[in-house]
Amino acid sequence: MKRRIPLSFVLFILLVVYCFSCSAFYLPGLAPVSFCEEKDVPECQTQIQLFVNRLDSVESVLPYEYDVFDFCKDVKETRPSENLGQVLFGERIESSPYKFSFKKDVKCSAVCTKIYKKDVKEDVAKLDFLKMGMQLNYQHHWIIDNMPVTWCYDVEDGQKYCNPGFPIGCLVTADGRAKDACVINSKFNEKNTYYVFNHVSIKITYHSGESEGWKGARLVGATLEPKSIKQTDEKNLNCEDGSPMEVPVVFDSDVSVLYTYSVTFTEDNSIKWASRWDYILVSMPHTNIQWFSIMNSLVIVLFLSGMVAMIMLRTLHKDIARYNQVDQENLIKVPSTRDKSSVTYEDAQEESGWKQVHGDVFRPPRKGMLLSIFLGQGTQIFIMTFITLFLACLGFLSPANRGALMTCAVVLWVLLGTPAGYVSARLYKTFGGEKWKTNVLLTALLCPGIVFADFFLMNLILWVEGSSAAIPFGTLVAILALWFGISVPLTFIGAYFGFKKPAIEQPVRTNQIPRQIPEQSFFTKPIPGIIMGGILPFGCIFIQLFFILNSIWSHQMYYMFGFLFLVFIILLITCSEATILLCYFHLCAEDYHWWWRSFLTSGFTAVYLFIYAVHYFFSKLQIIGAASTILYFGYTMIMVLIFFLFTGTIGFFACFWFVNKIYSVVKVD
């Protein structure tokens, strides 16, 4: 009889053959672009387009679009297609009037002139908004060939720092104190005055490709230096040196701002196109700190692993060996008509210990439906996070592929509704629940509904403030369509298969009458145990958490996904082992209420996350304004809820495996 080859296997082989037969294979959005002086090669481009992104500030959570600040606009403004992640992150990329011809240097070219008349109300509002941006140190973010245009300057210890943004201007206060970028130039000394950076000197570095297998040149670097220069003669521009472009705080006369630029091209064949981001990343030397964090976390993991191993190999092994020995002796002495399980347990019973609660340890918990809903959603988040970080670790979701990380996470969450419904339904049936319709609906709607309601309220604030981070109405409708059109039906499918299967078989029977729990010591009471349980997992992640918060709120580039994936694995192990340890101590104290406690023990790490976020807000950030504060804590609550479900689910299933393991080995009934 011939075996039939599965169709999926044939499709996989065809896909592999197709990929290897292609002349080249690139990750989405990362294909290199070649540039030439003349349009003599079809694969080459002669024009270099500079794109502008939203402007943001470390002193405000509200980003704004480039056009809101009344800068020079492109006559034929175009917007490249944006993925879902870019829209959710509030990126607003558009073309600019800065266009260059490859290898053609430009010296002091005018872009446009902006005139603000004191008697025109619209001009007064535009200039006030521009001054607000300079006061809050709003930063430009320019893009050339999908690469950030950086501002590199010297810092302490002779190191060079490359910032993927540069300020629109700066302020010298009424007491003569230079704020932010005004410290770079001694000419910025006029009190109570704004200085606009109206000139940029751009340097574009390229790899000629002479010794490579491709035609044309490829861009491997783009830096600039912002300057403030007041032009006195528009026909005879001077962009090298001159008095700075001042904007007085009091708008008592008309203001004219002329924007100019210079561009130079430099050949450097030592820089490979694949490593063209390295000069930006090298200026962020966090590797030593990361390894210190990893080593610190590994010490915690080894300590917990030793504790768990001691319990499993020594304490439980001795208890099980002594139990089995008594079991065999009593089976010889008693008549065959006597129930084996009752003799075994009565003769092996001790005054205290985890075996005392064998008849109550699998008693269904209170609020079992809510627990099953949390566990279903936590499973969905866990699988989504694991796959996303794994793909990011492989380089598929690098910073060069803008918005890919968020897009991947959202799509995975939508497609993982089936595991959420299955886990929730299976556990709810194990708990003896009968309201399966309510369980399925709450699994699909409760936690996502809370997140969406919070997100919608934050979006309303962004709409009112006119921020570019406000999600368009069409995108909100698309998100709702993904939720109700794909995620909810998949959750129902998973719940169908979950309820169809029998309940999870428990190794021991549950007594009809609950056993009375003895008086507990301070450390075995629920609240102290839960509070202590989240300390060790948080200790493994708080250094990595600092860099993540920096990337979100301080607008720093995050690229250390290898470290993040390793810390993610360490977090899994730490949450599991810490929960197992505390669960064992509670069972030894004859407290059999472990269902919710196992979930809350590791889930309490999210509370420490919130406390750290509060500390970060008051100690590291310079955010001012009620709207920015509300937005910060609103988005932080979404992070805390997701992290609570994620860590709580890890601890629960680790403890569930542990309890089933020890009671199935002993087989008390």
pLDDT at 415: 94
Nearest Cα to Cα of residue 597 among 656, 665, 538: 656
Nearest Cα to Cα of residue 28 among 482, 561, 408, 562: 408
Decide if 441 is inside a domain: yes
**Domain end (from 470, 505, 540):** 505
pLDDT at 158: 66
pLDDT at 505: 84
- Host domain of residue 72: 44-285
pLDDT at 403: 83
Decide if 67 is inside a domain: yes
Q: Within this chain, do residues 252 and 355 fall inside the same structural domain, yes or no?
A: no
C-beta of residue 369 within 8 angstroms of C-beta of residue 433:
yes
Q: Within this chain, do residues 500 and 618 fall inside the same structural domain, yes or no?
A: no
List average pLDDT for each run of 10 residues in the chain, which is 669 residues long.
Answer: 41 34 39 78 82 90 89 85 82 89 89 89 91 91 90 75 87 85 83 90 88 81 90 79 84 88 91 79 59 73 76 64 60 46 42 71 90 96 95 82 87 95 94 90 95 94 89 91 94 94 84 80 83 86 84 79 87 90 86 91 94 91 87 94 96 92 66
What letter does residue 356 receive in the DSSP assignment?
A: G
Q: Within this chain, do residues 392 and 494 fall inside the same structural domain, yes or no?
A: yes
Q: pTM of the entire structure?
A: 0.84
Domain total in the chain: 3
pLDDT at 654: 93
pLDDT at 78: 83
Decide if 525 is inside a domain: no
Q: Within this chain, do residues 67 and 102 fall inside the same structural domain, yes or no?
A: yes
pLDDT at 357: 79
Decide if 34 is inside a domain: no
Q: Within this chain, do residues 304 and 238 fall inside the same structural domain, yes or no?
A: no
The amino acid sitting at 5 is I
pLDDT at 274: 78
Decide if 588 is inside a domain: yes
pLDDT at 6: 45
pLDDT at 515: 82
Decide if 561 is inside a domain: yes
Q: Within this chain, do residues 639 and 657 fall inside the same structural domain, yes or no?
A: yes
What letter does residue 509 receive in the DSSP assignment?
A: P
Q: List all residues 6 or more positions away from 384 whose beta carbon is below 8 Å from its beta carbon.
A: 409, 412, 413, 416
Q: Within this chain, do residues 448 and 301 fall inside the same structural domain, yes or no?
A: no
Decide if 24 is inside a domain: no
Q: Within this chain, do residues 61 and 80 fall inside the same structural domain, yes or no?
A: yes
pLDDT at 395: 79
pLDDT at 31: 75
289 C-beta neighbours (distance < 10 Å), count: 14
Decide if 110 is inside a domain: yes
Nearest Cα to Cα of residue 587 among 576, 598, 575: 598
Q: Within this chain, do residues 245 and 167 fall inside the same structural domain, yes or no?
A: yes
Classify the C-alpha dihedral 309-364-522-606 as positive or negative: positive
C-beta of residue 50 within 8 angstroms of C-beta of residue 219:
no
pLDDT at 507: 83
Q: Within this chain, do residues 384 and 484 fall inside the same structural domain, yes or no?
A: yes
Taking the C-alpha atoms of residue 463 and residue 83, their distance in angstroms, rounded to an integer, is 20
**Domain end (from 460, 489, 505):** 505
**Among all chains, which residue has been given the structure tokens 């001694």?**
186
**Domain end (from 505, 521, 543):** 505
Q: Within this chain, do residues 148 and 184 fall inside the same structural domain, yes or no?
A: yes
Q: Within this chain, do residues 349 and 385 fall inside the same structural domain, yes or no?
A: no
